[in-house]
A and B are shown apart, each in its own frame.
Chain A
């Protein structure tokens, strides 16, 4: 299956988390929010100015900046 980074998803795209490339507190924060291996994430929308980006995961809405989303590696269908 092709791999993508979380910031490369377009509206409506879905993917499954396979790795977190960040380290330290950001990685911890991501895991606390449920971005763990196997989690399914859908891209919902961009903010009016293009950044940050809203995602749907585990039934709630999470927003991340593109730069931070780039550290999440996904596999997409």
Chain B
């Protein structure tokens, strides 16, 4: 009874408010009838029945290129600079133990954080332009139908696409989704979108076991697998953890404006700063832990040189029984453990363990019988799915304001990775593959 009275009150209030507004407007506003505004003209093109989607995809492609191609040289520069700093520390510090800690722990830790700065700042620069110009609302309008069918909201599309570059800025971009459930689902499935760091692993394994002729197709299938799993998981989460329809789509299309440099730079800086402050400490801390595990016991590893004797190798051997049904040995377990730092580290880890350069690494993997086409393919799927890198975990924890959710993401992805890779192995063996 009280509820319905309240609701009636709200109706009367809203109606009176709008009546007061229109009475006021009638006395002060004179309309120029029939003339097209700039916004009408732009919308006629940007929201056109057949041009709307191609234009959206073209803009998305431009943002993607701007963010990830343009940031690549800067990322390489940061890596080189920190590599140089690490080298300097190793030469300059006489105590090898401290030198190793400074170089492999502190410098590498800082480098692992700062290397993400260029793509994050550039993505938010581009997104700010789209947002301030008024196009971002149109993008949600154009893509909502498709995303609604997947249990998501039109605003989820851009963060999902950005995941192909890097999941970290992609997860930060979910801030444009105002409904909490929609946003949580988009964050939870984002790690399944195959980011750029996984590509070097695919290139190595696919090139080694399938040969140059089929590698491209095999790699492409990984991206498709990731998208399919993201869709399936989004539907599952919508039906279990976050029940209910996607939030209503009640969105104003604002008038187009030319973005100002000041607000664009401000947005970029504010969001970029969040990454440094929030995820930075988690990434840095994990790099230090992994440095410790891979260089100790200090004497047995000869100061971090013989990685086979390190704690992390023991951990790999301990985990080997879990992976042996997949046809993978302890080195794979170690590579996967290191892959937690950043997925591309899987490649480098094999290089160190086998003592060969990256150019001949593929041949060695096949020559030593570490991977067959079947176990290699299952391994690629495993690398796609199993735990996101530590930086992604860090940003999930901070964006969802909960370490529990970050732990949940890791847990569900590990289980999913075993299920999918196990199914690939099982199906392959049924077909008589080894």
For A47, give its contact among B15, B39, B142 (CB under 8 Å).
B142
- A-side contacts of B10, CB under 8 Å: 28, 31
> In chain B, what residue has the closest Cβ to A54?
B253
Cα–Cα distance between A63 and B145 once the two chains are bound (Å)? 12
Q: A61 contacts which chain B residues (CB < 8 A)?
A: 39, 43, 252-253
| Set B47, B52, B141, B249: member contacting A68, Cβ < 8 A | B249
The answer to whether A27 touches B250, judged by C-beta atoms less than 8 angstroms apart, is no
Q: Is the CB of B11 within 8 A of A65?
A: no
Q: Is A12 an interface residue (CB 8 A)?
A: no
B53 at interface, CB cutoff 8 A: yes
Interface assignment of A50: CB less than 8 Å from any CB of chain B: yes
Check A49 against B142 for contact (C-beta < 8 Å): yes
Which residues of chain A are near B48, meaning CB under 8 Å? 48
Would you call B145 and A51 a contact (CB within 8 A)?
yes
Q: Per-residue CB proximity of B9-25 to A under 8 Å, as 1/0?
A: 01100110011011000
Cβ of A39: which chain B residues have Cβ within 8 Å of it?
18
A62 vs chain B, min Cβ distance (A): 6
CB of B358 within 8 Å of the partner chain: no
* A contact residues, range: 20 to 34
Q: Please state if B253 and A63 are interface contacts (CB–CB under 8 Å).
A: yes
Q: How far is the CA of A51 from the CA of B147 in the complex (A)?
A: 11
1/0 per residue, CB under 8 A from A, across B362-403: the answer is: 000000000000000000000000000000000000000000
CA distance in complex: A47, B148 (Å): 13
Chain B residues with CB below 8 A from A31, complex form: 10-11, 14
Assess the B248–A36 pair: CB atoms within 8 A. no
**A36 with B14, Cβ < 8 A, contacts A62-B251, A65-B249 known:** yes
Q: How far is the CA of A48 from the CA of B139 in the complex (A)?
A: 11
A33 at the interface (CB under 8 A from B): yes
Report the bound CA distance from A51 to B50 in whole Å: 14
In the assembly, what is the distance between CA of A20 and CA of B144, in Å? Answer: 23
CB of B146 closer than 8 Å to a CB of A:
yes
Question: CB distance B248 to A26 under 8 Å?
Answer: yes
Closest chain A residue, CB of each to CB of B17? A36
Contact with A along B121-156 (1 / 0, CB 8 A): 000000000000000010001101110100000100
Chain A residues positioned under 8 Å from B262 (CB to CB): none
B299 within 8 A of A: no
Chain B residues near A54 (CB, 8 Å)?
Answer: 43, 47, 141, 253
B252 with A64: CB separation less than 8 A:
no
Residue from A36, A38, A61 having most chain B Cβ neighbours under 10 A: A61
Which B residues are CB-close (under 8 A) to A30? 250
A64 B250 Cβ-Cβ under 8 A: yes
B35 part of interface (Cβ distance < 8 Å): no
Complex: A44 Cα to B49 Cα, angstroms: 12
Q: Which of A26, A36, A62 contacts B11 (CB 8 A)?
A: A36
B7 at the interface (CB under 8 A from A): yes
- Measured between beta carbons, the chain A residues less than 8 angstroms from B249 are 52, 63-65, 68
CB distance from A54 to the nearest CB of B (A): 7
Ordered by A's residue number, 8 sampled pairs between the chains whose C-beta atoms are within 8 Å are: A33-B252, A38-B15, A48-B52, A58-B22, A60-B252, A63-B141, A64-B248, A68-B249
Q: Which residues of B contact A (CB under 8 A)?
A: 7, 10-11, 14-15, 18-19, 21-22, 39, 43, 47-50, 52-53, 137, 141-142, 144-146, 148, 154, 248-253
